Structure 1
Amino acid sequence: MKTTLPAANLLAIAVLLAACGGQSTPRPEADLSSQLGLPEPLPPPALDDATQATAPVDAFLASLSRYCGQAFAGRVRVDEPASADNAFAGKALVMHVRGCGERELRIPFHVGDDHSRTWVLTRTASGLRLKHDHRHEDGSPDPVTMYGGDSRDAGTAQRQAFPVDADSVAMFQREGLSASVTNTWAMEVGPGPVFVYELSRPGGRLFQVEFDLSRPVPLPPAPWGSEP
């Protein structure tokens, strides 16, 4: 015996089927949180432009800071055009990552028995600053000292360049060192266990000293003007 459903019941079933047909089936790749009714996860924090721009600077300093307290021997890799009175020829070249502060590295550069030079790298609000601290044997400053410049862009974690700044240009002009007013210095860490110090000028001058970071050498004396 057949049972006939009332017309009202048939209408209700039709409406229910229509409603179900309008629902989309969850995609297999849909986010699990949304399927479970949980709040959407927050996206990773975005770096602002300033942070992105200076990140390579911090990576560069971190790479160099790994060698704090160690000294390394170097050699002249490039000297173009070669000068007859090259102060580095035939001399033992040693860099010493000696002063390691949170925002500053001091790296004496010894040339034979000349302990007058120290590279000073300082983290600034916008990048990195390189200065050359030159002293006499009695510790007094040389007339040409604390020259250098600031990095003008982020550079890379491997290489940072420092065009000469206005104060250094004025010093060079005062001391009759006109060739130096177009200096750009650069430093590189890597690839591999290598550190490179570089001086270049638009006229074709290029000077590079390369240090082998894989083989520490005995520590040199304290640079002139520094505590032992």
Structure 2
Amino acid sequence: MQTINLARLGIVGLWMATPVFANATPKPVLAVEQETFFNQLAAHCGKAFAGKVVSKDSADAAFRDKSLVMHVRECSDTELKIPFHVGDDHSRTWVITKTDQGLRLKHDHRHQDGTEDKVTMYGGDTASMGTSQKQSFPIDQASIDNFMQNGLTQSVTNVWHIEVTPNTFSYLLTREARHFQVDFDLTQPQPLPPVPWGHE
């Protein structure tokens, strides 16, 4: 009986070179509504859009007089970073991340030298699947603790919302007696804004 030399056929080398993925971290699997929502935002990666405040609260007066620009700046399969520029203030970046439970929204706040603000990385996780056009993010416990430590007791019931349609991106903050909303026109891309603080 003829002996088959596996080495001569190259099979041994092929077998030994086969990568092993047993320890690879699986990507989060989202509800269809959340995956569609995420992908709709990611489709705008690299583009910037102008916005305006459409809510009527007196607390928003300072935003109405400033140039407002969002920039879908950094995109991966699991995370989007969207700086929110308010005039010459480049301190804010929205961070949307896929998790095993759904989607997470955090607010990355920096000083001009790039260091973190003491009130930063606050936000929350989705509590439901939402829709392909709207996701809501009730405040998480870490953010409540941060707000309490920094005297922002009025903010401990915050719920943030993001809506995206073919024409408009909306960012909203709601709680009792508070409503903030800024809408961005997705049909008119703008020149790219400066690099956000701390993300050079």
TM-score, normalised on structure 2?
0.84
* Larger-Rg structure: 1
Q: Is residue 172 of structure 2 the alignment partner of residue 195 of structure 1?
A: no
Q: 1:205 aligns with which of 171, 178, 185?
A: 178
Query: 2:16 maps to what in 1?
Result: none
Q: 1:221 aligns with which of 176, 181, 194?
A: 194
* Runs of at least 4 residues off by over 6 Å: none
Q: Is residue 119 of structure 2 the alignment partner of residue 144 of structure 1?
A: yes
Q: Is residue 59 of structure 2 the alignment partner of residue 76 of structure 1?
A: no
Query: 2:155 maps to what in 1?
Result: 180
**Equivalence map 1:1-20=2 (5 Å):** none
**Equivalence map 1:51-200=2 (5 Å):** 54-80=31-57, 82-83=58-59, 86-190=61-165, 192-200=166-174
- How far, CA to CA, are the matches of 1:125 and 1:160 in structure 2? 16
Long gaps (5+) in structure 1:
1-49
What RMSD in Å do the two structures reach over aligned CA positions? 1.4
**Residue 109 of structure 1: how far off its partner (Å):** 0.1
- How far, CA to CA, are the matches of 1:68 and 1:96 in structure 2? 8
Check the 8 A contact 2:112/2:198 in 1, yes or no: yes
- How far, CA to CA, are the matches of 2:183 and 2:49 in structure 1? 10
Percent of aligned pairs with the same residue? 55
**Residue 54 of structure 1: how far off its partner (Å):** 1.4
TM-score, normalised on structure 1?
0.74
Query: For this pair of structures, how many residues does the alignment match?
Result: 173
Check the 8 A contact 1:144/1:175 in 2, yes or no: yes
Cα deviation digits, residues 40-73 of structure 1 (max 9, x gap): xxxxxxxxxx97x711110000111110000000
Long gaps (5+) in structure 2:
1-27
- How far, CA to CA, are the matches of 2:64 and 2:100 in structure 1? 38
- How far, CA to CA, are the matches of 1:210 and 1:225 in structure 2? 25
- How far, CA to CA, are the matches of 1:58 and 1:219 in structure 2? 26
- How far, CA to CA, are the matches of 2:144 and 2:56 in structure 1? 23
* Equivalent residue letter for 1:144: V
Check the 8 A contact 1:54/1:126 in 2, yes or no: no
Check the 8 A contact 2:52/2:64 in 1, yes or no: no
